[in-house]
Amino acid sequence: MINLGVTGRISLRALLVNKMRSFLTMLGIIIGVGSVITMLAIGAGAGQKLSEQVSSLGSNLLMIFSGSATSGGQRMGAGTEPTLTLGDAEAIRKELSAVAEAAPFVNGVAQAVYGNQNWSTIIQGTTPPIFEIRDWNVTSGRLFTWEDVRGATKVCLIGVTVAENLFGGIDPVGKIINVKKVPFTVIGLLEKKGESPDGRDQDDTIYLPVTTAQKKVLGGAYGDSVRLIFVKAKSFDRLAEAEEQINALLRQRHRIGAKQDDDFSVRNITQLLQSAEQMVRIISLLLMAIASVSLLVGGIGIMNIMLVSVTERTKEIGIRMAVGARGADIRFQFLIEALSLSLIGGALGIVLGIGLAQVISYFADWPAIITPASILLAFGFSSGVGLFFGFYPAYKASKLNPIDALRYE
């Protein structure tokens, strides 16, 4: 019967005799576990931030871009040719069974002025369904209505960034701002949205009824056309169906022949999120695999040091065997030493990893999500490394011949 207490004390005493060597042996485990914890935390944070940014655009979302203009033989990209209209948006909204809502969209840049304050911002013209599509509401005031769209009324909603730069701490609702010298009444302050997936500040914006934007702010540049149309499917499962219906309807409305290319493009933002999340997972796994190399290096270091320890303590092993210790006792003693090195190193590595993750999160403005599962994974991996790489030295020590060990110098 192995005496765990005695064997454990002997093992720990042996480690404390050579404190610096024990610490240097643990260093590989500390760095490895710390790296794994940090990579998992940053990877999980990246996935969460990306998900939040894409989700801020809206749920079950499709975006329809107008066609691509061609100049001098060069195609200018989606949205440069005015092929979509307000009528297209209304037809999609009313005629397609898989579509919950649709909203046209035009935009431009303009200077907004209030008193002696001014701010250059994005002007966006749309219709009331956009706020349901994008899951966006106001913190004060109200949203504009269909009556505002039909009457092209001079009302607007502003984002938090615009409010801070024009009004400071004053409630903007009811105030008059000038956009391209046209007075608009602020009827609502939009909720804070944060950054979009491309890094744009979504709160740096002014929303107008689409007809008002077309007729009074954008200088008639759009006419009846729109840059894009936001569409919300009735459910996630019906996104593909909604996309098919949109393609069929717009081809019919635009009189596009069977062999002709579309003069619009439909993008599934939900699929974009899934692809981005998959990419983040792959990168996180790759980084974790790289970090795990440090654990393997640390394990090899434990094995090397344990082999040196066996050689240095050959005579001690012989004495223990001479007074009755069995091979299993010796083997267990060295396994305890290896496991102690890896567990202590793992615990220090967890502290290091959590600290590094918090530092990176602070300076990079990036969330670091540390879960119990990641800590258990790293700790379990370090324990496994200690047992795996400590077994051979322990086995070698247990097979020493007591007589030869006592003669060893």
Q: What is the DSSP string of 30-91?
A: HHHHHHHHHHHHHHHHHHHHHHHHHHTT-SSEEEEEEEEEEETTEEEEEEEE--EEHHHHHH
Residue 195 has pLDDT above 90, yes or no: no
With a CB cutoff of 8 Å and minimum separation 6, the contacts of 356 are 34, 37, 38
- DSSP H or E segment with residue 253: helix 239-253
Q: Are 106 and 210 in contact (CB under 8 A)?
A: yes
Number of domains in the chain: 2
- Angle among Cα 222, 69, 219 to the nearest 5 degrees reads 20
Same structural domain for residues 224 and 129? yes
pTM over 0.85: no
What's the CA gap between 301 and 12, in Å, rounded? 18
The token duo for 339 is: 């496991």
Do the domain assignments include residue 96? no
The token duo for 43 is: 């990877």
Do the domain assignments include residue 82? no
Mean of pLDDT over the chain = 80
Do the domain assignments include residue 79? no
Do the domain assignments include residue 361? yes
Same structural domain for residues 120 and 203? yes
Residue 127 has pLDDT above 60, yes or no: yes
Residue 64 has pLDDT above 80, yes or no: yes
Same structural domain for residues 383 and 293? yes
Same structural domain for residues 30 and 115? no
Do the domain assignments include residue 63? no
- The sign one gets for the Cα dihedral 208, 214, 216, 219 is positive
Higher per-residue confidence, 328 vs 165: 165
What's the CA gap between 273 and 264, in Å, rounded? 22
What's the CA gap between 335 and 344, in Å, rounded? 14
Same structural domain for residues 286 and 382? yes
pLDDT one-digit tens code per residue, 20-47: 777 777 787 888 888 888 888 887 777 7
Residue 165 has pLDDT above 70, yes or no: yes
Same structural domain for residues 110 and 34? no
User: What pLDDT shows up at residue 71?
Assistant: 44
Residue matched to tokens 């396994």 = 335
Do the domain assignments include residue 264? no
The token duo for 67 is: 């066609």
Do the domain assignments include residue 223? yes
What's the CA gap between 211 and 381, in Å, rounded? 62
Q: Which of 160, 165, 133 is nearest to 61 (CA)?
A: 133
Domain boundary among 229, 264, 292: 229
Do the domain assignments include residue 244? no
Using the 8-state DSSP alphabet, how is residue 235 labeled? S
Same structural domain for residues 130 and 199? yes
pLDDT one-digit tens code per residue, 65-74: 987 644 444 4
What's the CA gap between 33 and 214, in Å, rounded? 58
Same structural domain for residues 33 and 146? no
Q: 182-190 and 155-158 as β-strands: parallel, antiparallel, unpaired? A: parallel
The token duo for 358 is: 């918090």
Q: Structural domain of residue 357, as residue ranges?
A: 4-53+275-407
Same structural domain for residues 283 and 367? yes
Percentage of the chain modeled with pLDDT above 70? 81
- DSSP H or E segment with residue 94: helix 86-95
Same structural domain for residues 309 and 397? yes
Model confidence band, residue 199 (pLDDT cutoffs 50, 70, 90): low
Model confidence band, residue 188 (pLDDT cutoffs 50, 70, 90): very high
327-364 and 4-17 are packed helices; what angle lies between their axes, rounded to 10 degrees?
Answer: 60
User: What pLDDT shows up at residue 247?
Assistant: 92
User: What pLDDT shows up at residue 1?
Assistant: 46
Same structural domain for residues 156 and 216? yes
Q: Which of 394, 397, 320, 325 is nearest to 1 (CA)?
A: 325
Average pLDDT for residues 374-386, to the nearest whole number?
79
Residue 382: how many CB atoms within 10 A of its CB?
A: 29
With a CB cutoff of 8 Å and minimum separation 6, the contacts of 289 are none
Same structural domain for residues 151 and 39? no
pLDDT one-digit tens code per residue, 245-285: 999 999 999 888 888 888 888 888 766 667 767 777 787 77
Q: Reduced to 3 DSSP states, what percent helix, strand and coil does the chain have, rounded to the nearest 5?
A: 55, 20, 20
What's the CA gap between 222 and 214, in Å, rounded? 6
- R_g of the chain computed on alpha carbons: 33
- DSSP H or E segment with residue 122: strand 117-126
What's the CA gap between 161 and 164, in Å, rounded? 5
Average pLDDT for residues 136-144, to the nearest whole number?
92
Residue 379 sits at φ, ψ, to 5 deg, of -65, -40
User: What pLDDT shows up at residue 17?
Assistant: 67
Q: Which of 368, 350, 372 is nearest to 359 (CA)?
A: 368
| Half-sphere CA count of 142, side-chain side, radius 13 A | 7
What's the CA gap between 371 and 380, in Å, rounded? 14
